[in-house]
Chains A and B, each alone.
Chain A
Amino acid sequence: MQEISSQNIKQEVRKHLLIYGLLLFLTAINFTVSKLSLLGEQTVFIVLSVAFVQGVLIACYFMHLISEKKLIHFVLILTLIFFLGLLLLPVLEFWGNIFGTVHVS
């Protein structure tokens, strides 16, 4: 994590408050979008995209990943690959792309 000296502390605090404001704004967007029934199935895509941006902001700035060591990045990239695999496998299974369908008579 980035070392903080008393000289740049105000800047750090200001940055965190800015990110906080942005997170609240994005939550408000998500809340509003969910209320717009006009969007239908697109709502899922929009709210998840906004959540993704919020997640990136939290990870990069609150968890200070942006200034973290490469070893941590490596561990997280490896985790992300397995995580995506975990999410993708049931979808592929459902579509019958890799396992096919087993019928029990």
Chain B
Amino acid sequence: MSEIIPYTVEHRADTGLYNAKMGVWLFLASEVMLFGALFSSYILLRVGAIQWPHGWTLLNVPLATFNTFLLMTSSVSMVMAWVSLKLNDFKKFKLYQGITILLALAFLGVKSIEYRGEFHEQMFPQTNTFLAIYFTLTGLHALHILGGIVVNSYNWGLGSRMWTADPQRFTNRVEVAGIYWHFVDFVWIFLFPILYLS
């Protein structure tokens, strides 16, 4: 017996949206509160500290700037992947989605180089409060990047079989994955100045 999942393509009358889109926005609302709690902790630690180091004196700003560039570029390629599906160009979707995944992997690669340099300089989460919140925030963000890579890779590989059977549903899947991916970029936009530039 096969059960059909409702509202994967057509919009619900009450929300005016397909379910996955409503779902991803509710999920992102909870994500805002998760990161919000950590930003709140950051403020509390910073205003309560007698001394607070400038991020740029401890951390590798050029590498972080390069990572910002990578993440912004991946956001554009993610949009292009979705646009390609809207234009029924599956080959271009594969190309742009592949670029997005590679850029995300490059982000994690650069981040690991950065972490290695910090560990080499004897900078660990237990070293001081600034580094504790720095590793917590960037570590959690990196886990979100990893999650995005898993979802985008599935859509690029095995999951892309859906394109032949149900192209509209697949396009919606990519759109929802894209919204999540832009949110990851959005969080980094604030992490970068708070931790590295101030």
Contacts and interface: CB of A to CB of B under 8 A. Distances in A.
B192 interface: yes
Interface string B62-91: 000100110011011001100100110000
Given A75-B29, A79-B29, A51 B15 contact: no
Nearest to A3: B86
B150 interface: no
Interface residues on chain B, size class: 35 or more
B51 interface: no
A44 B79 CA distance: 31
B40 A76 contact: no
A87 B65 contact: no
B44 A47 contact: no
B154 interface: no
Contacts, number: 124
Contacts of B29: 75-76, 78-79
B36 A51 contact: no
Contact of B72 (A13, A27, A43, A75): A27
B123 interface: no
A78 B44 CA distance: 23
B44 A90 contact: yes
A62 B81 CA distance: 12
A79 B69 CA distance: 28
Contacts of A48: 190, 193-194, 198
B22 interface: yes
A75 B26 contact: yes
Interface of A: 1, 4, 6, 9, 12-13, 16-17, 20, 23-24, 27, 30-31, 33-34, 43-44, 47-48, 50-51, 54-55, 58-59, 62-63, 69, 71-72, 75-76, 78-80, 82-83, 86-87, 89-91, 93-94
30 contacts: A1-B21, A4-B87, A6-B87, A9-B86, A13-B80, A13-B83, A16-B76, A23-B72, A27-B69, A33-B197, A43-B197, A58-B186, A58-B189, A59-B186, A63-B179, A69-B15, A71-B16, A72-B17, A72-B25, A75-B26, A75-B29, A76-B25, A86-B39, A86-B40, A87-B39, A90-B47, A91-B44, A91-B47, A93-B44, A94-B44
